[in-house]
Each structure stands twice: as C-alpha cells, then as structure tokens.
C-alpha cells in the first residue's frame, strides 16, 4: 500500500475488493460448519413467493433423516420464527438492524447464537431464511454451502431478466406455486432458458408447496448435496 499526495490530501490505494472481508468470513464459516458436520442452505426470494411454506414442507420431508435448524432473518418482527417454532423446528430469530440482507459477519454471529441456544443438538442441516428481496441478498456471500432462489409462478417468467445477479448466484431455483400456472401467464420453457443463460449449472425444479408436487425431486437433490459435502 503506497500513499500519493494529491493537493493537501494523501490518498491510499488499498487494492482490496470491498467484499474481500465478507468473502474471507464466508470461507471461515464453511470451514467451521464442515468441522461441525453442518450443511448451511441460504434461501432467498421475493416477499410472498412461499418461502416459509416451502421451507416447512422441506423440513417435514427431511426431519427423519437430518437434525434440522432454522435461522429466520428479518428487519423486524418474529412472525416466521413463530411459525417454525409452532411446527416444532429449532429456530432462532435474527434482526438485521435495518439491513436488507444477511452478510457473512451476521451469519457467523447467528450461527454462534444458534449453537449457544441449542448446545446439545448437532445440526446436520441449517436453513437461513434470508430477507425477502431479489437485490441485496444476491450480493452477499453468507458462507452457505448452497444458495436457493424461490421464484413463484405469480411473479412471472421475466424475473431472471430483471434480477440477473440473483439467478447467477443460485445453485438451485425452485419455481413454486406451479399449481397456479393455469391462472397466470407463465412460460416454463422461457424461464428455464432465461435462467440457464445466466447460470447453465443452476438446477431448476418446478414444485408446489401446497400440493407437494416436485418435492421428491427437490429433497432428493438436496440430500445428494449434503452427502457430497461429507465426502
């Protein structure tokens, strides 16, 4: 790092990316979770996509296979955390102090709080239900093993065009509320093409958290990723 005099002000060129610290903490989280045998899933979506109902159904399908916990991130309120606790899921609520997304530092603190809250439970699988939006949540590496984006049919098939970064960072896109497709103009082929243009490796699964359609494919895919992480 060298200083350069510009007028009366000395400017230091750091040559370090603004996200470097966040990325370093994110890598640290993945290392710690590997030691604990914990697989962390970051779930992102717009408000109203069915994130919580999809998560509850996923947990119900996998609860006999894994010890599961949930970290609910919100700017305020405890509504979703209460839903999880009412369903018997180990849950903590995280408030972000007005920030529109969890970052790696917040996630690390939340995981420490989670392990403190449930010290006797080894968590095989932890879901981070991130704040509902398609912009700043895509910009932060939370230290998760995989990023999940939930896109619901009523939102439209053009979301990948409007929010490309979200679909670029998503390892899997769950297209929810497929049972409503007859009521909305939604082109399945177009949405697949648009997602794969941004991320050819992204897994796309059509499902319905209401009827259960597609959940076998989703939970099987997730289980495979968890088992791969232990190898």
Phi and psi at residue 134, to the nearest 5°: -105, 10
pLDDT for 156 equals 97
The Cα 195–Cα 58 span in angstroms is 23
Burial label for 133, CB within 10 Å (0-12, 13-18, 19+), is middle
pTM: 0.91
Sign of the C-alpha dihedral computed for residues 152, 214, 149 and 49 taken in this order: positive
Choose between 165 and 11: higher pLDDT. Answer: 165
| 40-98 pLDDT tens trace | 999 999 999 999 999 999 999 999 999 999 999 988 878 888 889 999 999 999 888 88
Q: Give the domains, in start order, of the chain with CATH numbers.
A: 3-229 (3.40.50.300)
The Cα 147–Cα 226 span in angstroms is 13
Element (H, E) at 173: strand 172-176
The Cα 165–Cα 171 span in angstroms is 12
């Amino acid at each position: 790092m060298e200083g350069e005099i510009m007028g009366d002000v000395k400017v230091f060129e750091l040559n370090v990316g603004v996200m470097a610290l966040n990325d370093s903490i994110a890598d640290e989280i993945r290392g710690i979770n590997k030691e604990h045998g914990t697989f962390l899933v970051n779930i992102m979506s717009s408000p109203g996509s069915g994130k919580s109902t999809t998560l509850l159904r996923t947990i119900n399908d996998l609860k006999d296979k894994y010890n599961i916990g949930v970290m609910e991130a919100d700017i305020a309120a405890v509504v979703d955390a209460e839903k999880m606790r009412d369903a018997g899921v180990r849950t903590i609520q995280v408030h972000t102090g007005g920030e529109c997304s969890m970052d790696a530092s917040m996630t690390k603190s939340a995981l420490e709080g989670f392990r403190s809250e449930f010290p006797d439970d080894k968590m095989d699988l932890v879901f981070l239900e991130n704040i509902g939006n398609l912009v700043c949540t895509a910009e932060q590496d939370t230290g998760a093993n995989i990023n999940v984006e939930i896109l619901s049919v009523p939102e439209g098939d053009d979301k990948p065009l409007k929010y490309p970064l979200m679909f670029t960072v998503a390892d899997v896109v769950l297209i929810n509320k497929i049972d409503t497709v007859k009521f909305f103009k939604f082109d399945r082929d177009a949405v697949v093409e648009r997602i794969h243009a941004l991320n050819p490796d992204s897994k796309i699964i059509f499902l319905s958290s209401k009827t259960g359609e597609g959940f076998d494919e989703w939970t099987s895919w997730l289980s495979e990723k968890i088992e791969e992480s232990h190898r």
